[in-house]
Amino acid sequence: MVKAIVLFSGGVDSTVVAYICKLRGLDFMAVTFNADYIPKLEIEYAKRIARMLGFRHEVIRINDLPSEFFTNTSERCYHCKRTMLKNIVSTYGNCLIFDGTNRDDLKASRPGLKANEEFGVISPLKELSKGEVRELARLLGLPNWNKPSNSCLATRIIGEDITLDKLRMVEDAENFMLDLGFKMVRVRYERGNARIEVGKDEIDKAFKLRETIVKELKRIGFKRVMLDLEGRID
């Protein structure tokens, strides 16, 4: 039994929360979720950061998502977060639950925050902006203070049902782009087509590698391959 759970993605926000819990001597478990819509590279990264910082760490497999998640409704994130929190309660019982929600998250449309309220999740960073959290992480000497933000693969499926095949295609495409050396990448799935987003400073690189990228993404199964010239990643 533990007194507290930290929802731990391996990102900057949740790492700061877990590290502060450790500094304060709180008996806690860092918990990472494993599901088909979570990039495997992110799960492995969370494991590595937890080992580096000496967190007690467990990975929980999620298999019981409701149909509302796969039909990709506007409440998709709510159903996802609620399922995660139900798994926490069923696994660890009555304990404090912390997450890394920051002030910028509260300004955005995030249906998952409703699930936080229902389960009484505590967000210690809610008064800090994302930039302030990064600066705090840097001052604490955390190794991932400048890690780019990421989101689950379900966010890449635009305006249609989520399937395991689509998630696999997106993950394979993004892993290929990362292997090419891109620092940040999103591959959006739209009607069988790929819309690639990279950082603004890497758009020229994407153009230079366009033949290589198109060939591989079509091999993965995309019909057409497009590049977002705004370079927007969220």
Q: What is the per-residue pLDDT across 183-211, written as a single tens digit (0 to 9) for each?
A: 999 999 999 999 999 999 999 999 999 99
Of 109, 139, 169, which one is at a domain's C-terminal end?
A: 139
CB atoms under 10 Å from CB of 133, counted, come to 22
pLDDT tier at 24 (50, 70, 90 boundaries)?
A: very high
Helix (H, G, I), strand (E, B) or coil at 28: strand
Q: How many domains does the chain have?
A: 2
Task: Using the predicted structure, report yes or no on whether residue 232 has a pLDDT greater than 90.
Answer: no
Check if the beta carbon of residue 136 is closer than 8 Å to that of residue 100. no
pLDDT number for residue 111: 84
Written as one letter, the residue type at 152 is C
Helix (H, G, I), strand (E, B) or coil at 226: strand
Tell whether 170 is covered by a domain: yes
Task: Using the predicted structure, report yes or no on whether residue 1 has a pLDDT greater than 70.
Answer: no
Same-domain status, 125 and 221: no
Assigned token pair, 132: 């302030």
Same-domain status, 112 and 17: yes
Spatial distance between the Cα atoms of 193 and 142, rounded to a whole number of angstroms: 38
Written as one letter, the residue type at 119 is F
Same-domain status, 130 and 62: yes
Tell whether 234 is covered by a domain: no
Q: What is the pTM of this model?
A: 0.92
- Strands lying side by side in the sheet with 185-190: 185-190, 193-198, 225-227
What's the CATH code of the domain at 89?
A: 3.40.50.620
pLDDT number for residue 131: 96
pLDDT tier at 112 (50, 70, 90 boundaries)?
A: confident
